[in-house]
Structure 1
Amino acid sequence: MTNEPTSPCREQPAASPIVLEPVTADDAPLVADVAVRAYNDHYTHLWFDEGTWYVTKCFTPVVLREDISHPNHRYYLILVDQQPVGFVKLKIDQPLPGFESFNALELERIYIERAATGQGVGRTVMEQVTDIARQYGKELIWLKAMDSSTLAIAFYRQSGFELCGTHQLSFPQMKPEYHGMVIMKKEILPRSNQ
């Protein structure tokens, strides 16, 4: 893809141990492996079947190969000291309902293995996602988070996001008490205006 902005992770100083590495459909098996590990570290309690249905629906190599190939999607592996510990999925052109006047990007997924949490990985990844959004000329980043994930919501607030709505999931395989989600947004300005 010749029109892609340069990934900010490729411009990182050599000493930085945390980078976002863009992936292609050929990397789907590796993304699947990382996705399943990271998802199972945090979310099996949401499901009657411990997440088997959801993992099969979203994180097999076949499913990921197709999703990574979608022209509006960008996937990145999260590497710490060159080892994959998570992944990010962005929807590059994804308006936020109610805020359609903003040129928006959705941070649809950010999963990090439990062993890599609490080390500044999430903060660094969010900074890099913001840089990617700026490179695409975006004015707003938005995401959904489980309303029961108080630590994740606090992290997103610390990263500059604010609550702007709610959403309800309707997966019958999911325990009903976990169907609620919050929608959060972060307005961004070009680097020169901050």
Structure 2
Amino acid sequence: MMSDFNFEIRPLTDILRIKHLGYQTYMPHYAHLWYNAEGMDWYLHKCFNESQLALELANPEVSYYCIQVNGEDAGLLKLVKNKAPLDQNPQQCLYLEKIYFLKSFTGLGLGQKTMRWVFEKAHHADFELVWLMAMDSSQKAIESYKKAGFSLLAPSRLDDIEFSRLRSELRGMVILAKKI
């Protein structure tokens, strides 16, 4: 593990850069989830098309960040303020919607560093809960989230109609949360 690198998380508002980083960080890790390339293309377009990103960036509740190592883009982070799981109070919750890394930057401890950064940000903004959703088949990711302090809140499932392009056996999700 690299321990002497410069780690930074910077706000990201450039739509084309978000789109590019979204595609570059998602495709190598998640292609296996889809029945075919068209399904993955549908999802990437749904999340990272320019009009969708413009709408999100106009929303003060949504923030994108670039995770950098030694000044080089290493990952993408998306946070949504005041969005709650289940019956929680939205004003007390911060949703960690996306945390993706380029393949060449995995295994360096960046996920744990990013989580600590998110928790600090949540603490300073007086949020009481940080939460996320993970695929229930992603045991390595779930263990990493638990290591960062998250606990299982509830099982969930992606919508079978909207996500019909995603392999049926992989639509199961878990909601994980950490009290701040």
TM-score (norm: length of structure 2): 0.90
Deviation by residue 1:103-138 (Cα, 9 ceiling, x = unmatched): 111101111111101111111111111111112111
Residues 1:106 and 2:106 are matched in the alignment = no
How far did residue 101 of structure 1 move?
A: 8.3
Q: How does 1:108-127 map to 2 (within 5 A)?
A: 108-127=97-116
Which is worse superposed, 122-131 or 90-99? 90-99
| Residue number among 63, 69, 89 corresponding to 2:52 in the alignment | 63
| Counterpart-to-counterpart distance in 1, 2:122 and 2:112 | 15
| Residue number among 145, 160, 166 corresponding to 1:156 in the alignment | 145
Measured at CA, do residues 40 and 55 of structure 1 come closer, stay the same or move farther in structure 2, by a change above 3 Å?
A: same
| Counterpart-to-counterpart distance in 1, 2:167 and 2:102 | 23
RMSD of aligned alpha carbons? 1.6
| Residue number among 20, 36, 44 corresponding to 1:49 in the alignment | 36
Contact 2:46 2:52 in 1 (8 A): yes
Residues 1:184 and 2:171 are matched in the alignment = no
Which of structure 1's runs of 4+ aligned residues deviate more than 2 A? 60-63, 98-102
Residue matched to 2:17: 30
| Residue number among 124, 135, 149 corresponding to 2:124 in the alignment | 135
Identical aligned pairs, as a percentage?
A: 34
Residues 1:174 and 2:166 are matched in the alignment = yes
Contact 2:137 2:172 in 1 (8 A): yes
Instruction: Give secondary structure in 2 for the equivalent of 1:43.
Output: helix
Instruction: Give secondary structure in 2 for the equivalent of 1:48.
Output: coil
| Counterpart-to-counterpart distance in 1, 2:5 and 2:11 | 16
Contact 1:89 1:109 in 2 (8 A): yes
TM-score (norm: length of structure 1): 0.84
Contact 2:134 2:173 in 1 (8 A): yes
* Letter of the 1:184 counterpart: L
Residue matched to 1:4: none
Measured at CA, do residues 119 and 71 of structure 1 come closer, stay the same or move farther in structure 2, by a change above 3 Å?
A: same
How far did residue 69 of structure 1 move?
A: 1.9
* Letter of the 2:101 counterpart: I
Contact 1:102 1:140 in 2 (8 A): no
Residue matched to 2:27: 40
5+ residue gaps, structure 2: none
Instruction: Give secondary structure in 1 for the equivalent of 2:127.
Output: coil
- What is the count of residue pairs matched by the alignment? 172
How far did residue 84 of structure 1 move?
A: 1.0
Contact 1:143 1:184 in 2 (8 A): yes
| Counterpart-to-counterpart distance in 2, 1:146 and 1:177 | 11
Deviation by residue 1:32-73 (Cα, 9 ceiling, x = unmatched): 111101100111111122311101111123322222221210
Contact 1:19 1:125 in 2 (8 A): no
* Letter of the 1:32 counterpart: K
